[in-house]
Structure 1
Amino acid sequence: MTPSKPLPAGPGVTPLGRRLLGRWWRRQSPARQDRFATLAPLVSVMLFLAAIISAFWYLRNEEIDREAEAVKRDTEIAQQQIRLRLIENQEQLVRMAREIVTRELEAPNFLAQAARFTADRPEILQLSWIGADRKVRARQSAFSERELPPPPKPAPTRFSSRSAQQAAAASAAEAAALAAAAASRPSEADWAFIAARDVRQPIYSRPFKDPAGTMVFELHVPLLDRGSFSGALVVEYSIDVLLRHFVPAEVTNRHAIAVIDERERVIASSVTPMPGPARAPALFNDVPLAPAANGLILRGSGYRTSVGLIGNTLFWMVVALSVLTVWMLLGTWRHMRRRSQIQGALVAETNFRRAMENSMLTGMRAMDLEGRVSYVNPAFCAMTGFTENELIGRLPPYPYWPHDRIEENSRLLQQELQGRSPAGGIEVKVMRKNGTLFDARMYVSPLVDARGHQTGWMTSMTNITEAKRIRDQLSASHERFTTVLEGLDAAVSVLSVQQGELLFANRSYRLWFGADARGHGLLASGAGPAVPFIAEPDDAVDGLSGLPTQELTSIGTNPREVYAHPLDKWFDVRSRYLQWTDGRLAQMLIATDITARRRAEEQASAQAEKAQVSSRLITMGEMASSVAHELNQPLTAITNYCSGMISRVKAETIQQGDLVAALEKTARQAERAGQIIHRIRAFVKKSEPQRQPAHAKDIVEDAVELASIELRRRNVAIHHYVAQRLPVLKCDPILVEQVLLNLLKNAAEAIDSAKLPAARRHIELRVIPRHTPEEGGVIEFSVTDMGPGLPEEVINRLYEAFFSTKAEGMGIGLSLCRSIVESHRGRIKAQNLYNGSSVAGCRFAFTLPVETSARHEETTLPPPPLNSRRTTVAPDADAPPAANTTP
């Protein structure tokens, strides 16, 4: 037994206290005295170490408080500078908005004032005037007047802000959540515009990236015109420029100032990010950036500049000796506790792995080297329907093997036991306990013990029934799609715009053009192969030269007819841009062989031309008696003049002057007869349709002169008016004259067949310019008669071939008229004229397109003056022909 040791007296112990303490010590047993003697140094060391640490902690906290106060002060100074700048700009914008509302500032003046406003404000990227309909009325961009000043060099500091690598290492779940949230709400600019419109106050938007990738936010100042919202002034601020220009240099020299958003992401910082893991700031202070809350936070960060006030060797020696003493006393306790912790960790790890295996959907099966099942997880039992007791300890054949696949599964098992299973897994059929089958894929890996010896195999099984069904459906769908495209008579090809590579071509394309891209280029350009696009090596250059890919892919088909000279074929080509499966911009062409249709159209055009000539011959045949009567009058006059001159010459009673006058009259009558024959021959002459410049006045005069023969025979008068300064027509004058003659002849026949009185036996022909939204600038020819009109059922069938209301009619006149007018890209229509509820006549009108000037764009014209109307009065059939007179 250890002898009792006297208790040492300390300098602070009084004699009475020393006696009491000695008495207590002597009453203790030697074992307890030893225990106390062992623990006393430990307690002393611990108390001493606690005192040292407490003093150090107190001094360190005072230092941290001073540094935190400095960070807070510098952050508030930076906030004050930025907010003063924003408030000053806001006041200027409110005054500018007031001038816009009061009409003191128009768009040109606004641009000049906006240029002055943004000239000395580098933080403003652009200033826009937006109407209530979100359309931009004027916009001043800072880049149009000046370039932004280069960013100043970062203030010298020993610390780095959060690195770009750490900011870019956000988790995939957070990125997906942010994308979903951005998709479910309007853009930040739209939100700010709507908020400014609703609250009638300036609104700061949340930060967002502009098209150049710069983090900005916008200030929307509403334009209130008599209380109503008429638009907004929108200012776009660069967050980085605000931070660099309006945070004092002495602040950035002391602390790091950064702008962060609501998700703690660094948008801009006064220090340059350094590579490697970022050092988290020890001190920081957050204040809002903008005058109104928009999610931006100004954060000042600081770091402790010393490791502590107590850093001498003596302190650390005392700490080291104290720790060493404590470590030696607690060594045994640590050892026992470590063994307990290891045992608990082993149990926790086992339970964790067991829980993980039981919760996963993949079936797990373990077996030894002989193929005996030693372990299955609940997912494997759920897949097969067998319990764990029914599977563990079983040798092949296993109960989940289909009866008709035992040999195949035995072969696969031997391959698995020999370690020759493919890395991509084995696809097998598995039978459930109820007899149903499903497709599964198994992956095999070896089981190795702690000594590195293989003890068996671990197999994971996944149910792929649904995946295989979807894969089969996709394969069948692709096969059907390919079969349809290969069976088309049209050539289908897809060409990459960037590389000029032929991405797809069906059987018809390969049959006609081969397997290269030259046929695609021939169809796309109509002249030769398309020039492939060569991408620039610099990533900063836009590969599509700024082409809007989304706009290109949304454009519909553009049909064209292309002649392929090597094949002697015509193709109807439809093209459109699309996004290929790998994201590349591609052009798809669908070319249909229309050679047979073009040849049929050419034959139909030739037949129509022959029908036009036949129609003119039929018209002149119907007018033959009138033409003969018209020619009889000048011939009779010539005969009379010649007989009179012969008689007077024989009687020698004629003077030279009378003879010359009689010969001149005879010559005029002969010239008149020749002109009639010339016009009839020109009208019925077979010729190719020729588009040439023609004047409407000349066409009308020729048609009226030809029609006057028939009109005089039927005792019908014609009044025609041609507007002055009409534009030149690009047409075939003979065909247009044929349309007019047919309409005039039909009107005369309608009047004559109705036995109308003389007051209603007249036709009005008007030629005036018009402008309509559907046709644009046109010249309208209208023929109006005072006849009985047309029944509604006749109007609906008027232009059908071989349909006629006349007993002797052939029904091809109006059909040809419609074909002629539509071949000139015009329109023809017929309508009845009413006087109350009774029909007062009929009006046929057709239009021919022209490029009219602004003075001819009115839709209606006033009645022509009297001095511009020409009237032809049809005399009696037996009277000599009368010339056109102008009253």
Structure 2
Amino acid sequence: MAENNSMPPHRFNIVLIGIFVGISFYVADIIIDVFVFRSGTLIKEILDPTNHEIWMRTSVLLLAVVFSIYIQILIKRIQKIGERAETAEKFLNSIVDNIPNMIFIKDANNLRFIRVNHCGEKLLGLMSKDLVGKNDYDFFPESQAEFFTRKDREVLKTGVELDIPEEVIDTATMGRRWLHTKKVPVLDDNGKAIYLLGISEDITENRQAEIDLKKTEIRFHTLFDAAADFIFVIDPDGIILEANRYACERSGYEKNAIIGQNIKIFFTKESQDTCDCNFPVLRERGYSLADIEFVCKDGRILQLECMATGVPDESGTFKTFLLVQRDVTDKKKAEEEILRQQREMAHVMRLSTMGEMASGMAHELNQPLTALVSYCATAMQLARGIPSLPEGYLEILERASEQAQRAGSVIRHLREFIKKDSHNKTQLVLDDLIQSVIEFISWEIKDSGIRLTFLGGANEREAYVGKVQIEQILINLIRNSIEAIRQEGIADGRVDIASRLTEDGMIEVSVADNGPGIDPSVSSKLFEPYQTTKEAGMGLGLSISRSIIESHNGKLWNDQQRQPGALFYMSIPACD
């Protein structure tokens, strides 16, 4: 605290002193005139002075009184100035001591402390009286004292304020603290530094908070990038502010190609419309769910389940949004596969039911057909002994017998097809199998008006196959060609079947037609389940056919370049 420089509490009446001085001068003048100049007696000088003496003595008395009054006024003014200075000093001391930062003043010559405020005392754990007159080396470790002194010298030398963002100080009671310090030189009228003023803010808690915040940010970014989901941070306009590593790697885009773009440009048109509908709800409520189709850099489309959440600011307004999008592409495919299998299972169950019905019908029809063939044979035998029969009668009976035998053959083939052991493999000549299939569906071919040719070139080579399964595939391919030609209304429809033995020991069978061909958009997916070009087709025929051929270690494919018409190939290993 500053010393008290005010005037003493006792006061002298300067006016009375002045009067006393004037009277004393008056009496002294009388005594001098009487005893020195012997101008008269003492009584005469007192009672009968000359005019000159009266004027001179009265003037001196008045001057003494006036001067004393002036001196008293001057002293009172000085006292008031001192009181004001004392009040100002107390006010300044109060401000300095109540500032929540440490303030210290050092002598520029020896860098010893002259003044330290209350905050500095509390921070350092020392009283001001213990600090004043001492320097940094008296309180701090040598390394810290050297640092403080070096910075002090730098400020005093340059005469410029120095800002030290962070410095470490070991205190007596609070341990190690981190300070943000500013040091300012205090100059005299000649520009010479006479003091060093220091202001230090304790930033230990703020620094620790920043460290904790950085750790939190590191943990957040680690989790952000480690998440196996698409995560985006966007603004209210949909502009991407941040994207995690998984989103970049899965989509194929570089991070700098995503940041700053509108999230919608990565969606399909349908998903963009969904986004436009959901964004107002998201801005208002801060929450939204949607299924999104995301277009990758290579054109792949991913199915994403998107959950958007608003991040409110201090006022509760949503300024950013967190989009967590889970890739459910494989899940969707699995669900579709389950549905496909369920449909296929239902189809198989229907086929099984139809097989049971067909087996019963075949059994019931076989006996009357056998009887019909027998009756036709007996009728023809009896008719040959009757010469007067109408012309053509025997021919009609022969045709009826042929058709009955054909019907019986179809029934037997059907019963063989639906038998439980119909998948058993056997060794047979593939060209003969093809020929039997052609004969089996010859009535369909004749009814359609389509010309079918077969060019066998497998040199009677045998293959180890499931007879009924291969027949099923060939019938399916031939019927597909017939139906395609019929739908297109081609007058001179043609189906050409050929076989050959390849150099790698495979028997290759081709089925070609001059129909409308296969749409290129469908061709690449033709063998996938439920892909069909027929209006009422199930889309299982070619898929099942390929599975059967592959179970025979063979292949089934189509020539996508064939124009016009369609061309399918089937290859099966030939027996050694």
Shorter-chain TM-score tier: 0.3 to 0.5
TM-score normalised to the size of structure 2?
0.45
Q: Rg bigger for which structure? A: 2
TM-score normalised to the size of structure 1?
0.31
Write 1 or 2 for the structure with the bigger share of helix. Answer: 2
